[in-house]
Chain A
Amino acid sequence: MIYFDHAATTPPSEEVLRTVNEVMTRHYGNPSSLHRLGEDSDKLLRRAREVCAASLGVQSAEIIFTSGATESNNLALKGAALQYRNRGNHIITTAIEHPSVYECAKQLQVLGFDVTFLPVNGEGKVTAEEVMDAIRPETIMVSIMHVNNETGSVQPIEVIGLQLMATQPKVLFHVDGVQGYGKVPISLKESGIDLYSLSAHKIRGPKGTGLLYVKEGVSLFPLLAGGGQERGMRSGTENVPSVVGMAKAVRLAGVGVQARMLKLNALRKQFIEGLIEIPEVILHSSLEGSAPHIISFSLPGMKAEAVLHMLEEDGLMVSTKSACSSKAAEPSRILLAMGASEAAASSGIRVSLGEEHTEQHIELLLASLNKAVSRLRHLKGGH
């Protein structure tokens, strides 16, 4: 089996598995307990926070541990919207956000907030000018993902952040960094980011764990009330083993970003070069300006699910659309936003790469894909 669905989730690394196992076995104390078992857990939590903060180039006190990116994004958007509603009721985001931002913004609309969903161009990108033009006196935040989970398109986060910092210092800037961290370098401080979401399981960490960077001085209205953990912003007994595992994953992902980028880019180039030989293919990920690990394409008229299962017969796991929305039969919101036809948007396939892949793996994938396409070609639409 070769796993080509790293954008959905990643196989946890050996080191992370060992860490989680050992910490879970030995340190089951509640970090809030006053006895030694509790103190030990608290120490581990503190060190994990330091490690995550150092990897992101921020301070420990700016890291909030959560149950994952969905929670981080919900906390960032709703927490900021509710906290700063006295500043205004306008939020800017894009048409291609992950559902945990997109649906959150829709909920805020129901609650009376005014949301601008910025359109994207054919490459799936917004420009800094469009963001700045959308700002009004009552704008409280801008939320833009770093790397799109379906197409790998990279947004100009640094340019947007710098312009916001220079001209709109009061407007909060949230970045969903889930697909970007460890794949495309980013500096939170230099990009003027106020809130940044991460998920552990996208970077070979455990599931059910994530973090939200909350810049010093920014307050959020807590979504989970309770025992006041995480400086009151996120109550709930901390998931110490997973958090320590995440710290390890965050560190390893941060350290290897340059080498990983080079390797994945080479594999991606190899795959795309083979892919565009197939006449039916419509490529959604540009060769330049996209993240190194995601390739999105469509085979209009061929049922994506059929392609997926044919590849699966050869032991190759790919995805249709994103994992979170692939069970629904509707066309991809992201691809439609990029201007794809209904047929293309309904037949999107996503291949996402990991460090363990080799040139041989890509060759196998291309061969299998060619085989599937030639089978489906005769079926006229694959139905």
Chain B
Amino acid sequence: MMTYDLLLMRFGEMAIKGKNRKRFEKAAMAHVLTILEAFPRASVRKEYGRFYIMLGGESAPAVIKELKKVFGIASISPVVAVASELEAILHTAASFMGSQTLPEGTTFKVNARRVWKDFPHSSHEMNRLVSGPLLRELPSLKVDVHNPQIELRVEIREDQTYLFSEVIPGAGGYPLGTNGKAMLLLSGGIDSPVAGWSAMRRGLEIECIHFHSYPFTSKKAEEKVIRLAHVLSTYSGEVKLHLVPFTEVQTLLTKAKQDSLMITLMRRAMLKIASALAEQNGALALVTGDSLGQVASQTLPSMNVIGRATELPLLRPLIMMDKPDIIQLSQEIGTYDLSILPFEDCCSLFVPKSPSTNPNLRIIQKIEATSPELTQEIEAAIVGTRTMVLRPGVQPPFNEGEEVIQEDWF
């Protein structure tokens, strides 16, 4: 195993957006700095289109694992730094390549770049000077300049020369919060956390809204959602979670005795509450985990009727995705294991036997209009909303009362 000195982080598509570049870089830098708080020996340096992380002895794989959460980063490369002298470069190139498992016939090429023009050998010369000894010392290597399996990059700079080959994909997208703020409707399921992550990846700041039906649902269901939001906070450094008491609204809606329309009515009430919370918190869109056709409330006719309950743009990052792909993403971002915990959320309790897949907008509007208390209950739910802030590394505040876990027991 090589010991790496720094990490090279490259920006993605945002780097080409001239005017906004500064703002984007600033946001990405803030995100990087939050993550590096956990690695006190590491520091960061900004260069055109790149960040350099000086590891200072921190473990490269551990830091990379966390930095892969930084949105807007296209790729990360672990780098070995060496004095800009030919002998030192050759020596390090040999140990760099020698530390890798190279099956017989591994193709490679050297790609040297002389940034510091006072270095005595040109880029072209360096390609030859570096690859020659490598081919002699490591007989399993073969040169392929067009499509090599390993491309050893040698960047000669005035202070130091950087050697690297591995290119690890980053999160991509846009830096955190550079595209504004939206409210995420967070259930306890698999989809909505993935939708939230996708929105964050695209540069949206996210505040989560969860509707709970305590005492119809357990505190465990609520705790599960807090944990999900906590996972999301590891991607943003901080996430707000609004817990909306939804029991009274639901109870009221059941009085309409329209079992098959219950889901539609509930979803519309949720969107109304979410829109009000969006306004209070300066968000300009709602994000949901809807995936076309997945359940009755996600058919096109249902989405049409439900979506009309809000005037805000409804963003549905997963709308055209298949379930296996969503599950895979949720495993990658670390929400899957929480999502599959078997606690009922507010919807599952009131799910009718056969929910309508084709609700009628006029009937829905009529039911809502003939229930004068509905507006009041929605208002009460908004007022009764509890908000908490979740931060990575900080134990989330679970149920009130004395702390159960005494650290000295463990």
Contact with A along B312-343 (1 / 0, CB 8 A): 00000000000000000000000001000000
User: Using Cβ atoms and an 8 Å threshold, which residues of chain A touch B410?
Assistant: 19, 47-48, 51, 244, 247-248, 251
Q: Taking the nearest CB of chain B, how far is it from the CB of A9, in angstroms?
A: 22
Contact A39 B409 (CB under 8 A): no
Contact with B along A19-60 (1 / 0, CB 8 A): 100110001000000101001101110011001000000000
Contact (A43, B405) CB under 8 Å given A34-B218, A36-B399, A61-B337: yes
**Complex formed: what's the CA distance from A42 to B408 in Å?**
18
Of all chain A residues, which has the CB nearest B343? Answer: A34
**Complex formed: what's the CA distance from A378 to B404 in Å?**
64
Contact (A244, B409) CB under 8 Å given A39-B399, A61-B337: yes
Contact A23 B399 (CB under 8 A): no
Of all chain B residues, which has the CB nearest A48? Answer: B410
User: Using Cβ atoms and an 8 Å threshold, which residues of chain B touch A247?
Assistant: 410
Of all chain A residues, which has the CB nearest B220? Answer: A39
Contact A44 B405 (CB under 8 A): yes
User: Using Cβ atoms and an 8 Å threshold, which residues of chain B touch A19?
Assistant: 408-410
Contact with A along B217-235 (1 / 0, CB 8 A): 0111000000000000000
User: Using Cβ atoms and an 8 Å threshold, which residues of chain A touch B337?
Assistant: 61
Contact with A along B377-410 (1 / 0, CB 8 A): 0000000000000000000001101001110111
User: Using Cβ atoms and an 8 Å threshold, which residues of chain A touch B398?
Assistant: 43
Q: Taking the nearest CB of chain B, how far is it from the CB of A33, in angstroms?
A: 10
Q: Taking the nearest CB of chain A, how far is it from the CB of B342, in angstroms?
A: 10
Of all chain B residues, which has the CB nearest A245? Answer: B409
Q: Taking the nearest CB of chain A, how far is it from the CB of B221, in angstroms?
A: 11
Contact B405 A47 (CB under 8 A): yes
User: Using Cβ atoms and an 8 Å threshold, which residues of chain A touch B404?
Assistant: 27, 40, 43-44
User: Using Cβ atoms and an 8 Å threshold, which residues of chain B touch A15?
Assistant: 408
Q: Taking the nearest CB of chain B, how far is it from the CB of A209, in angstroms?
A: 15
We find that the number of chain B residues with CB closer than 8 angstroms to chain A is: 13
User: Using Cβ atoms and an 8 Å threshold, which residues of chain B touch A248?
Assistant: 409-410
**Complex formed: what's the CA distance from A39 to B337 in Å?**
19
Contact A36 B401 (CB under 8 A): yes
User: Using Cβ atoms and an 8 Å threshold, which residues of chain B touch A34?
Assistant: 218, 220
Chain B residues 196 to 250 lying within 8 A of chain A, measured CB to CB, are 218-220
**Complex formed: what's the CA distance from A61 to B338 in Å?**
11
Among B220, B408, B409, B410: residue with most chain A CB under 10 A: B409
**Complex formed: what's the CA distance from A15 to B220 in Å?**
30
Of all chain A residues, which has the CB nearest B405? Answer: A47
Q: Taking the nearest CB of chain B, how far is it from the CB of A71, in angstroms?
A: 23
User: Using Cβ atoms and an 8 Å threshold, which residues of chain B touch A42?
Assistant: 220
**Complex formed: what's the CA distance from A329 to B41 in Å?**
62
Of all chain A residues, which has the CB nearest B223? Answer: A39
Q: Taking the nearest CB of chain B, how far is it from the CB of A12, in angstroms?
A: 14
Chain B residues 328 to 368 lying within 8 A of chain A, measured CB to CB, are 337
User: Using Cβ atoms and an 8 Å threshold, which residues of chain B touch A27?
Assistant: 404
Among B405, B408, B410: residue with most chain A CB under 10 A: B410
Contact B405 A39 (CB under 8 A): no
**Complex formed: what's the CA distance from A51 to B219 in Å?**
24
**Complex formed: what's the CA distance from A36 to B223 in Å?**
13
Of all chain B residues, which has the CB nearest A52? Answer: B410
**Complex formed: what's the CA distance from A51 to B409 in Å?**
11
User: Using Cβ atoms and an 8 Å threshold, which residues of chain B touch A48?
Assistant: 410
Of all chain A residues, which has the CB nearest B409? Answer: A19
Partner of B409, one of A22, A36, A40: A22
User: Using Cβ atoms and an 8 Å threshold, which residues of chain A touch B409?
Assistant: 19, 22-23, 44, 244, 248
Q: Taking the nearest CB of chain A, how far is it from the CB of B267, in angstroms?
A: 27
Q: Taking the nearest CB of chain B, how far is it from the CB of A247, in angstroms?
A: 6
Among A15, A39, A251: residue with most chain B CB under 10 A: A39
Of all chain B residues, which has the CB nearest A251? Answer: B410
User: Using Cβ atoms and an 8 Å threshold, which residues of chain A touch B405?
Assistant: 43-44, 47
Q: Taking the nearest CB of chain B, how far is it from the CB of A36, in angstroms?
A: 7
User: Using Cβ atoms and an 8 Å threshold, which residues of chain B touch A40?
Assistant: 404
Of all chain A residues, which has the CB nearest B219? Answer: A39
**Complex formed: what's the CA distance from A22 to B404 in Å?**
12
**Complex formed: what's the CA distance from A36 to B404 in Å?**
10
**Complex formed: what's the CA distance from A255 to B393 in Å?**
22
Q: Taking the nearest CB of chain A, how far is it from the CB of B113, in angstroms?
A: 38
**Complex formed: what's the CA distance from A34 to B343 in Å?**
11
Of all chain B residues, which has the CB nearest A59? Answer: B337
User: Using Cβ atoms and an 8 Å threshold, which residues of chain B touch A44?
Assistant: 404-405, 409
Contact with B along A337-362 (1 / 0, CB 8 A): 00000000000000000000000000
Among A27, A40, A51: residue with most chain B CB under 10 A: A40
Of all chain A residues, which has the CB nearest B410? Answer: A51
Q: Taking the nearest CB of chain B, how far is it from the CB of A228, in angstroms?
A: 10
Of all chain B residues, which has the CB nearest A46? Answer: B405
**Complex formed: what's the CA distance from A15 to B409 in Å?**
8
Q: Taking the nearest CB of chain B, how far is it from the CB of A327, in angstroms?
A: 37
Q: Taking the nearest CB of chain A, how far is it from the CB of B410, in angstroms?
A: 5
User: Using Cβ atoms and an 8 Å threshold, which residues of chain A touch B218?
Assistant: 34, 39
User: Using Cβ atoms and an 8 Å threshold, which residues of chain A touch B406?
Assistant: 22
Q: Taking the nearest CB of chain B, how far is it from the CB of A250, in angstroms?
A: 10
**Complex formed: what's the CA distance from A61 to B340 in Å?**
12
User: Using Cβ atoms and an 8 Å threshold, which residues of chain B touch A251?
Assistant: 410
User: Using Cβ atoms and an 8 Å threshold, which residues of chain A touch B399?
Assistant: 36, 39
Among B337, B404, B406: residue with most chain A CB under 10 A: B404
**Complex formed: what's the CA distance from A179 to B337 in Å?**
32
Q: Taking the nearest CB of chain A, how far is it from the CB of B393, in angstroms?
A: 15
Chain A residues 187 to 204 lying within 8 A of chain B, measured CB to CB, are none
**Complex formed: what's the CA distance from A347 to B404 in Å?**
52
User: Using Cβ atoms and an 8 Å threshold, which residues of chain A touch B408?
Assistant: 15, 19
Q: Taking the nearest CB of chain B, how far is it from the CB of A187, in angstroms?
A: 15
Of all chain B residues, which has the CB nearest A42? Answer: B220
**Complex formed: what's the CA distance from A247 to B405 in Å?**
13
Of all chain A residues, which has the CB nearest B404? Answer: A40
Q: Taking the nearest CB of chain A, how far is it from the CB of B400, in angstroms?
A: 10
**Complex formed: what's the CA distance from A42 to B219 in Å?**
12
Of all chain A residues, which has the CB nearest B402? Answer: A40
Of all chain B residues, which has the CB nearest A19? Answer: B409
Q: Taking the nearest CB of chain A, how far is it from the CB of B298, in angstroms?
A: 29
**Complex formed: what's the CA distance from A5 to B405 in Å?**
34
**Complex formed: what's the CA distance from A47 to B403 in Å?**
13
**Complex formed: what's the CA distance from A51 to B405 in Å?**
13
Q: Taking the nearest CB of chain B, how far is it from the CB of A60, in angstroms?
A: 9
A–B Cβ pairs within 8 angstroms, 22 of them:
A15-B408, A19-B410, A22-B406, A22-B409, A23-B409, A27-B404, A34-B220, A36-B219, A36-B401, A39-B220, A42-B220, A43-B404, A44-B404, A44-B405, A47-B405, A47-B410, A48-B410, A244-B409, A244-B410, A247-B410, A248-B409, A248-B410
Q: 8 extra interchain contacts, Cβ-Cβ under 8 A, other than A15-B408, A48-B410, A247-B410? A: A34-B218, A36-B401, A39-B220, A39-B399, A42-B220, A43-B398, A44-B409, A61-B337
The 4 lowest CB-CB distance pairs between A and B, nearest first, are A40-B404, A19-B409, A51-B410, A43-B404
